[in-house]
Amino acid sequence: MAAAWPWLLLWLGAAVLRARPAPPRIRLPLRGGSGLPPAARARRAPEEAERGGGSFVEMIDNLRGKSGQGYYVEMTVGSPPQKLNILVDTGSSNFAVGAAPHPFLRRYYQRQLSSTYRDLRKGVYVPYTQGKWEGELGTDLVTIPHGPNVTVRANIAAITESDKFFINGSNWEGILGLAYAEIARLCGAGFSPNETEALAAVGGSMIIGGIDRSLYVGDIWYTPIRKEWYYEVIIVKLEVNGQDLSMDCKEYNYDKSIVDSGTTNLRLPKKVFEAAVKSIKTASSTEKFPDGFWLGEQLVCWQVGTTPWHIFPVLSLYLMGEATNQSFRITILPQQYLRPVEDVATSQDDCYKFAISQSSTGTVMGAVIMEGFYVVFDRARKRIGFAVSACHVHDEFRTAAVEGPYLHSNMEDCGYNIPQTDESTLMTIAYVMAAICALFMLPLCLMVFQWRCSRCLRHGHDDFADDISLLK
């Protein structure tokens, strides 16, 4: 299905709805430039101009969801069309929908009701970091009502069994993996004035076919896609309130760094996580928080509208740029890495969860980071672009930013390379191990041989003594 769409744009929400009085004030949209010299801005202008144009009014605001539960778009599957909400995920490449009753699903795909469904008679099983599902592979007609005016036949995995995959209250019934669609973009969005929707609901857009320049300000800065599997990039530096963590840049990318809308948090390798949390704690030391908060296990709450954003630092991620020895910086506000959570005990407070967590599988720039930026997934040119969302939430003193260029040398060395061992090396290792084993076995064999010989000699001597005794 993805191959049929050469351009795809996603526009995710950054602001959060709360159906209660006196919500925090949010100023929209941002105004301002990129901070670039005219020459640098001009270098990218021709390229952006040739890709502009087009009207995407029908596609605006077609995403819904929550950063903690994922963003989804309405799709229709089959003939006659069956409406389903489908999670948009740039960290996977499967298109799968619930096809059996489940306690967390309001509806599901009923293959037997579709005259265009074709069973491929293949089973499929997909595990994730958390959760898994299995089902049956087939094809059917798929359309995005608030998308391009096309219907395509797509491979669909019909999920018949799952474990910890669907999320209660998330309102989506399937997943659309966009890893290596031709172009995929994500961007922060403002809140809808309609506060009758679900609490903490967020709007957004998935636009297919071009660039809507109203969704970002300034310029788009691009970083190369390092490896074509996930959307893997290279991070060259991380700062907390402008203070460099001063770590070997390989640590940031161990064992990979990816951009993934299907992950909620900013996830960091153990060493980086510990260093970052230590710096954030120091910067926000005017208030004390329980250890469980920093581990994502406890919430912190303030009265509505009194969240002290100013005590929390900004984070800056430096990504490798397209130009030689140049990087650019994306600045992340606490409004992004403190994720709003509805407190079950009271509705009188604004409660938040720390959305930076430890990872054992490398750095993951999840939805809480992507919400603040217009993010371009460009497989054709093997790159990912970042720009500031035109509707990014900000406070009185700080705004999110995408700035550059900055000078960094040997940035390629920051990438983590999995050690590769060829066949000849393995054979050499095998021979060496065999030789070592032989050296250890030789003394043992000699000792056994000596023991056997001595026992035989002793046995002969004992027999002779017994014969003498008999003669006497």
Closest CA to 216 of 467, 43, 44, 94: 44
* Alpha helix positions (H), 395-422: none
Instruction: Please check whether residue 126 is in contact with residue 133, taking contact to mean a CB–CB distance below 8 angstroms.
Output: yes
124, HSE (Cβ side, Cα atoms, 13 Å)? 20
Q: Where are the beta strands (DSSP E) in 335-395?
A: 338-341, 349-354, 356-359, 363-365, 373-378, 383-389
CA terminus-to-terminus distance, the chain: 104
Instruction: Please check whether residue 190 is in contact with residue 23, taking contact to mean a CB–CB distance below 8 angstroms.
Output: no
Catalytic residue among 140, 212, 260, 378: 260
Instruction: Please check whether residue 86 is in contact with residue 70, taking contact to mean a CB–CB distance below 8 angstroms.
Output: no
Peptide bond into 80 cis (omega under 30): yes
- Residue 19 is given by DSSP the state S
Instruction: Please check whether residue 84 is in contact with residue 97, taking contact to mean a CB–CB distance below 8 angstroms.
Output: yes
User: Which SS3 state, helix, strand or coil, does residue 122 take?
Assistant: strand
> Ramachandran region of residue 209, left (φ > 0), alpha (ψ -120 to 50) or beta?
left
Say whether 163 is catalytic.
no
DSSP-derived pairing of the beta strands 243-244 and 235-240: antiparallel
How far apart, in whole angstroms, are the C-alpha atoms of residue 89 and residue 117? Answer: 24
**Element (DSSP H or E) covering residue 427:** helix 423-471
Instruction: Please check whether residue 326 is in contact with residue 404, taking contact to mean a CB–CB distance below 8 angstroms.
Output: yes
Say whether 260 is catalytic.
yes
Q: Which residues pair with 11 in a beta bridge?
A: 205
How far apart, in whole angstroms, are the C-alpha atoms of residue 333 and residue 342? Answer: 20
How far apart, in whole angstroms, are the C-alpha atoms of residue 27 and residue 2? Answer: 35
Residues labelled catalytic: 89, 260
